[in-house]
Amino acid sequence: MTGQLSRREVERKRLLDLVARRPERNAVKGYGVVLGDGIRGYCKQFGLITPYNEENLKPANYKLTVGDEYAIGGEIRTLLDESGKNQIIIPPFEVAVIKTNETINMPRFLIARWNIQVKRAYQGLLWVGGPQVDAGYVGHLFCPIYNLSDKEVSLLLGEAFAVIDFVTTTDFSEEESPKYLPMPPERILLEDYQAQELKSALVTLVTKKLTGFQLQVKQLEERTNQFIAVGLALIGILFAVLALFVTVGDPKAMPFWAFFSVTFSFLAFLIAVGSMKKLY
């Protein structure tokens, strides 16, 4: 618990340092979508996007990449920069919550809109997060993604999977504009969003149905085996009785093997019937 609190405090201090860098007013005149040069300028001025990578800058947006944490199947997992440990595999119809590698530091004169990359959508990934990052927000973004395809989709640590664009707002009014929430936000870690509790209803339902079907098949197999055992026991009894009828001479001189066969077959029949009763 101590380690978890320490991790939270370290993150909180980092975010507060970013908040302290924000300007009160926008030095750039005009309203509308911020172009690439504006995004670059804001990143240099007050850390709009941290870390910033020039290769991810587009004419009017910025590519967001996979961070080091994600949640899937009711479990929060960590990605490492090592082969075999740096990949998220999203099975068909499963949902994953992915933390962005980037931290977004929004001043009060900007909002942002983000969504999954078009090429990821054509891989079958569906983004189900909120469409807007509010003015004043600071922190990582956490993206719930469904895989609606019939194939696994993999994402690598540091690989681009979403895009974000920024829009300038009207001037902030101390008297009229609603005030910001306390900074940093209360939810700053992946577990704060209870991401580990988000599970695909379809996968859960299919798993339950499959488990039930497998149990039914197992029960049917056991019953079939018992029916076969009873049938074989009855056949054994039938042959033993027939052997009695074909015995030559005095019936009192019945061979030992015939007596043993009848007794054994009858006992097998009783055991098989008793086992069948346990199945019902």
Q: Per residue in 235-268, pLDDT tens?
A: 655 555 555 555 545 555 555 555 555 566 656 6
CA distance 174 to 2: 40
CA distance 152 to 166: 32
Q: What angle do CA 261, 265, 269 make, to 5 degrees?
A: 175
CA distance 72 to 197: 9
Q: Which residues of the chain have pLDDT under 50?
A: 1-2, 248
What confidence score (pLDDT) does residue 180 get? Answer: 75
**Answer CATH for 2-199 from 3.40.720.10, 3.10.450.50, 2.70.40.10, 3.90.650.10:** 2.70.40.10
What confidence score (pLDDT) does residue 64 get? Answer: 98
What confidence score (pLDDT) does residue 2 get? Answer: 47
Residues whose CB falls within 8 Å of the CB of residue 105, separated by 6 or more in sequence, listed in order: 18, 19, 21, 22, 46, 47, 48, 49, 50, 138
Q: Per residue in 185-198, pLDDT tens?
A: 888 999 998 877 87
Q: Domains of the chain: which residue ranges?
A: 2-199, 204-279
